[in-house]
Each structure stands twice: as C-alpha cells, then as structure tokens.
Amino acid sequence: MEFPELKNDLLLRALRGEEVERPPVWMMRQAGRFLPDYRVLREKYTFFERCKNPKLVSEITTMPVWQVGVDAAILFSDILVVPEALGFEVQMIPGVGPLLPRTVKTLEDVQAIEIPDVEVALDYVMKGIQQTRMDLKGEVPLIGFAGAPFTLLCYMVQGKGSKDFSEAKSFCFSQPEAAHLLLQKITDITISYMKAQIKAGAQAFQLFDSWAGLLGPDAFMEFSYPYLKQIMAECTEVPSVVFAKGAWFALKELAATGANAVGVDWNCKPGFAREQIGSEKTVQGNFDPSMLHAPIEVIERETKKMIDAFGKDKYVVNLGHGILPSVPVEHAKAFVNTVKTYRAE
C-alpha cells in the first residue's frame, strides 16, 4: 500500500541516533485515555469495538496528534489482543480492568495453546494501521507495539490485573518448564505479530514489559530477557524501543537486546540511565505521569530540567509510564509544548 510521504521524521531520526534540532516527544497511552473526545467514543462503543473498527482505531490514534501536537502517533490497541488471539477471551470490566476467564495453571494448559495465523486472527490491527497511515497524511510516524512475553504471561496465569502478580510469578518459580514453554509460544506469535504490523505500515515499534520490575535481576534474566532479545533479533525492519518498567537493574542488558532505544521510568535519574545504557543508544523517558497534575509552571520547569539532564540528542521525551486519565489537556499540552520550544543553552 502507498502511504503519504512522512513530514516530521524527528522520532525516527532520534531512534536511529542521528542529530536533531530538538528531541521528539510522545506520551505512552496518549491514545485512548485522557482526551475528552475519546471519552465520548468510550460511552458509545465497548473497548473491543473500538479496537476492532479501523475507522475508530484511526480516529483515536490520530487524536493526540491533532489535539496535543505530539511528534508520533502510537496505535490505539491493547497488549491483550495477543492472548485473545491465542484463545484466551479478554473481558474489559469498567472500573476494574481486564478479566481472562480462561487461565494457565499447568504444563498441559500451555501445551493446549495453538498459535494462529496472526494475519487472520489480528487482521483488524493491520487494517487499523493502514487506515491510520492514510489518515495521518504523513504528518508524524506511526508506532506499533506489543506486550513482552513475561507481561503477557502475568495476565494469562493470573487472569486479571494485580499489584504483585504473585500467582504468575509463583507459576514461573514452581513450574519453570511450563513457564518457558508459554513464554516461547508468546514470543513466536509476537514475532509474527510485529512483522505483520511493520508490513501493514508501522514505522517503529515498542515492546512493553510493564511488569518486568516485579522480577529480581536473576529471575528477569531467566523469564523475560531471552524472549525480549529473540523478538528484537527478528524484528529489525524499523527502529524499535524496549521498555521494561522497573527493570533498572537490567538497563545494560536491555541496551544489548538490539533495540534502538531503551525506555526508562521515573525512578531512574538521567545520569544513571545514560551510564547504564551507554552513549550509543537512544534513551526514552521518563516524566512521572502524576507530575502532569502539578501547576503548569512546574511542568514546564521540570520538563526543561529533564531535557537538560538527558541531552537533546539520542533522546526521546516521554512519560515514565502511561498518561493518567485524569490529566487536564492543558497540562499535557504544556508538557509537549515545552519540548517543542526547547533550545539547548
């Protein structure tokens, strides 16, 4: 498919480590969370109606580009479409979160999982990507994404969100053989899924290991890292970001996955992140999402301070985790505009 030519390529240049006038900015969960126009759509359609309708996907994905002026769009979707494609129904319970009635408890449960053809099972994602690329008119690049294998295992074992995913972790520690087989199956489908997203039109992608920080350093190297690395080794067609929230202890290893950039959360001081990730890789992060509730002058001051500390090159400005639904639009705009008017002193 032919798409309109890209105008603002700041993100792609920053991910490739090229020199830029200023760092690009986007916000995790910018699509489908805090914008009032999104909340109108949420009243009219269920979560999966929104995810599976390419016109709605495009409308929600492009909304923060038109309304807040970010330098990249990230596809409106959910990491749990992969478990769903693997035969695990996902219910989104308003005010509670995801619920998976079918869960994994044993090796037999894992062996029973069949990997579908993602181009069929997740064709609605690819159609959403194509629609969005057309509608973006080349204004900014489109980022695709997937959940990391360990994070998806958490939901497939626990069956719902959790503060500590202790059941999922206990599954790994007590049945490592079953855990590794499950992680490999998720890895296999994720590689096909990312390749399909790229083929459909994703111009960069991010792998989200949202629950990596629940693991200790040894357990992370056993149950998460090898699978991140496999995915990064296979999906090299476009620039990539790996974000393992809470895995500050493995930033060096994450930089060695082959990803173009490593995301960091707000627990990491810029100096620590740079030192661990090295001067050759791009760093992405790490404004505390709760700080977008601070007065606008504080947001402006702290954002500027953050860019000064990370430096304008090999840096993508982002939050340290997803934007909160309660953030006023004017506050998000103040964050974005501070980056767009940034000049190094």
**Catalytic residue annotation:** 29, 33, 42, 78, 155
At its nearest, how many Å lie between a second copy and the CB of residue 294? 4
Instruction: Pick the piece of the chain touching a second copy (CB under 8 A) from 29-37, 145-153, 208-216, 234-242.
Output: 208-216
- The DSSP annotation for 52-105 comes to H-HHHHHHHHHHHHHHH--S-EE----TTHHHHHTT---EEETTTEEE-SS---
Of 280, 140, 274, 144, which is closest to residue 202 (Cα–Cα)? 144
Contacts for 285 with CB less than 8 Å, ≥ 6 apart: 263, 264, 265, 266, 268, 273, 316, 318, 319, 320
Residue whose CB is less far from a second copy, 35 or 291: 291
How many residues lie near a second copy (CB under 8 A)?
36
Residue 293 binds a second copy (CB under 8 A): yes
Contacts for 152 with CB less than 8 Å, ≥ 6 apart: 79, 80, 82, 83, 186, 190
Residue whose CB is less far from a second copy, 116 or 217: 217
Residue 164 binds a second copy (CB under 8 A): yes
Instruction: Pick the piece of the chain touching a second copy (CB under 8 A) from 5-13, 51-59, 191-199, 264-272.
Output: 264-272
Separation in Å, CA 257 to CA 103, 228, 236: 30, 7, 11
Residue 95 binds a second copy (CB under 8 A): no
Q: What six digits make up the tokens of 183?
A: 């992680």
The one among 269, 275, 330, 341 contacting a second copy by CB under 8 A: 269
Residue whose CB is less far from a second copy, 6 or 221: 221
Instruction: Pick the piece of the chain touching a second copy (CB under 8 A) from 43-51, 62-70, 179-187, 285-293.
Output: 285-293
Residue 93 binds a second copy (CB under 8 A): no
Residue whose CB is less far from a second copy, 96 or 112: 96
At its nearest, how many Å lie between a second copy and the CB of residue 102? 21
At its nearest, how many Å lie between a second copy and the CB of residue 145? 20
Residue 268 binds a second copy (CB under 8 A): yes
Contacts for 223 with CB less than 8 Å, ≥ 6 apart: 150, 153, 172, 179, 180, 183, 215
- The DSSP annotation for 106-157 comes to SHHHHHT-----HHHHTHHHHHHHHHHHHHHTTSS-EEEEEE-HHHHHHHHH
Interacting residues toward a second copy by CB under 8 A: 161, 163-164, 166-167, 169-170, 172-174, 213, 215-217, 219, 246, 248-249, 266-269, 272, 286, 288-291, 293-295, 298, 320-321, 324, 326
